[in-house]
Amino acid sequence: MKAKTIKSNITTGMETQRRSTQVFDSFTQESSGNLRWIADSQDNLIYVNQSFLQYFNKGVEIVNHNINHIFPKNIADLFSRAHRMTRKEAKPQHTNMSSKHEDGRAISLLINSFSIDPAHVAAEAVNIHPISEISANGKSPSNLEPEQDPKNLYLSRATSEAIWEWDIVNSIVFRNQQLQKMTGFIHNEKNDLLWWFDRIHLADRERVQHSVAAVLDNKQISWQEEYQFQCADGTFKVIHDRGIVIYENELPVRMIGSLQDLTEIKQLRVQLLEERITHQKEIAESIIDAQERERVRLGNELHDNVNQILTTARLYLDMMNPTDAHDIDVRTKTREFILMAYEEIRKLSKDLVSPQIKAESLATGIQDLINDITGAGSFKIDFDYDDSIWVTKSMKITLYRITQEQLKNVIQYSEAKQIKVELRSRPEGIMLKISDDGKGFDAKTAKQGIGLSNIYERANLFGGLVDLETAPGKGCSLTLLMPM
């Protein structure tokens, strides 16, 4: 029996340590705009976040130092009292810290603290305006309705942040003037929590509601979400909303938080992304234009200069009048090789110099390409396309070249009898799909080939996505999606 008890104690201890580690990791890794710290049993600060350092104007060197050596006695005593109470009660505590910084500035923090384990206390605090200063003459602040009791309100009139407080017990939400200014709604309108949820964009509403419920159900300390909120003028703002939960007797009684308007930041990010995309398209168009000019130059060089050399060689060959049977045979073979070179150069020139698809539609250019190819083989090519497709000149050339490259690969290697080309307009862009019933291949090794590499490189210039589905004996399907 004693052995079982020892084993049980060890197991329980290990489980407690595991949970403590999880809580510690979660608390220190989660981003929060509120002040966060962890103190050991001797009140050494073993962790502080950036907000803590900024609020008290301290550097990271305070970590692993005792609070009595970091702060003046009036502040250190408040920390010690909060930590001591948390350890003694062994449950979350909620205390106010009201004092003054060394430079005379007021300190007013609402602290939510809990024990990670018997030796360590973790705490999160929100900066609030002292309750005693909310109304110096005992009257309600100007930004609150007269019937609201300022003693129940931990909001700052002086802060520039948009702050809210949710009285969970009484289902009342208080918001300061800055928040009202941000949203355009005044406080005397019906704006409880359900009303607020109804103003959240439909795409975000359910997620936000579930996250709030999850925080309360799981007795978590902090919460944050990003969502779109509809203001009084009907426009939507992108909001970063965060808060901390206050518990009494392990029940949530209040939630205090702040809003940050991210709309302008989001718009700038979108604008920056659009500028990057535009710049990328300009670069892609320049590259495509340069490639096509070089192709035209090479095509003309082959057609004019090399063909001229071959023509001269043929003239000299025809001037020869051999009488020997062997020499006659050599001249005949040479003439055949020259004619073969003519034909190869003609094909290369035609491949290099794209047809006049600048003026034609992309579908017409691809159809002409298919017509030229079909007459030279024992295979059938079906072409289905949408009539409403419009693309830029450079993308038109790119899609044409990809079709040309893939059809050449299929005809040369696949032994296919049936080939299908599809050109479709999709909400996300232009889809080009080329499939065949050939012998297929191993996609991993084939991607290293020049043909497919060219296709991937061309697609990447426009941010396109290439999907290759193939296997030995299973044919091949290449799908390209080009964003518009």
- pLDDT tens profile 155-190: 444 345 788 888 888 888 888 888 888 898 876 556
Burial of residue 476, with CB atoms counted within 10 A of its CB: 0-12 exposed, 13-18 middle, 19 or more buried: buried
Query: Residue 136: its pLDDT value, please?
Result: 38
Q: Of the candidates 174, 156, 157, which has an alpha carbon nearest to the alpha carbon of residue 165?
A: 174
Average pLDDT, the chain: 80
Q: How far apart are the first and last CA of the chain?
A: 74
93-97, 149-153, 302-306, 327-331 — which one is most confidently predicted on average? 327-331
Report the greatest alpha carbon distance in the chain.
Answer: 129
- Does residue 403 contact residue 434 with C-beta atoms inside 8 Å? yes
Tokens of 27: 């608390």
* Pairwise pLDDT comparison (118 vs 6), residue with the higher score: 118
pLDDT tens-digit map of 123-134: 888 776 443 343
Query: Residue 437: its pLDDT value, please?
Result: 92
Residue 151 pLDDT > 70, yes or no? no
The Cα 367–Cα 382 span in angstroms is 10
The Cα 143–Cα 155 span in angstroms is 10
Q: Span 97-107, mean pLDDT?
A: 84
Query: Residue 23: its pLDDT value, please?
Result: 64
Residue 411 pLDDT > 90, yes or no? no
| Location of structure tokens 């979400």 | 225
Residue 428 pLDDT > 80, yes or no? yes
- pLDDT bucket at 355, cuts 50 / 70 / 90: low
Residue 6 pLDDT > 60, yes or no? no
* Pairwise pLDDT comparison (187 vs 44), residue with the higher score: 44
The Cα 35–Cα 48 span in angstroms is 8
Query: Residue 83: its pLDDT value, please?
Result: 92
Q: Give the strand pairing for 251-261 and 380-385.
A: unpaired
Query: Residue 391: its pLDDT value, please?
Result: 84
Residue 227 pLDDT > 90, yes or no? yes
Q: Of the candidates 47, 49, 52, which has an alpha carbon nearest to the alpha carbon of residue 24?
A: 47
- pLDDT bucket at 109, cuts 50 / 70 / 90: confident
- pLDDT bucket at 379, cuts 50 / 70 / 90: confident
For 413, phi and psi rounded to 5 degrees? -120, -25
Strand partners, 66: 44
pTM of full prediction above 0.85:
no
- Does residue 422 contact residue 385 with C-beta atoms inside 8 Å? yes
Residue 385 pLDDT > 60, yes or no? yes
Query: Residue 125: its pLDDT value, please?
Result: 84
- The dihedral sign for the CA sequence 70, 72, 74, 77: positive
- pLDDT bucket at 32, cuts 50 / 70 / 90: low
Q: Span 351-379, mean pLDDT?
A: 75
The Cα 471–Cα 446 span in angstroms is 11
Residue 254 pLDDT > 90, yes or no? no
Residue % of the chain over a pLDDT of 70? 82
CA distances to 294, 348, 417, 437 from 411, rounded to whole Å, are: 26, 16, 9, 11
Tell how far CA 341 is from the center of its chain: 53
- Residues 6 or more apart whose CB falls under 8 angstroms from that of 17 comprise 117
- The dihedral sign for the CA sequence 232, 236, 240, 243: positive
Q: Which of 4-18, 152-166, 317-331, 467-481 shows the lowest mean pLDDT across its residues?
A: 4-18
Burial of 152-180, coded b for 16+ CB within 10 Å and e otherwise, reads ebbbbbeeebbbbbbebeeeebbbbbbbb
The Cα 280–Cα 282 span in angstroms is 5
Query: Residue 466: its pLDDT value, please?
Result: 92
Tokens of 325: 């049977």
The Cα 356–Cα 380 span in angstroms is 24
- Does residue 187 contact residue 144 with C-beta atoms inside 8 Å? yes
Q: Which of 46-50, 71-75, 146-150, 292-296 shows the lowest mean pLDDT across its residues?
A: 146-150
Q: Of the candidates 418, 412, 417, which has an alpha carbon nearest to the alpha carbon of residue 446?
A: 412
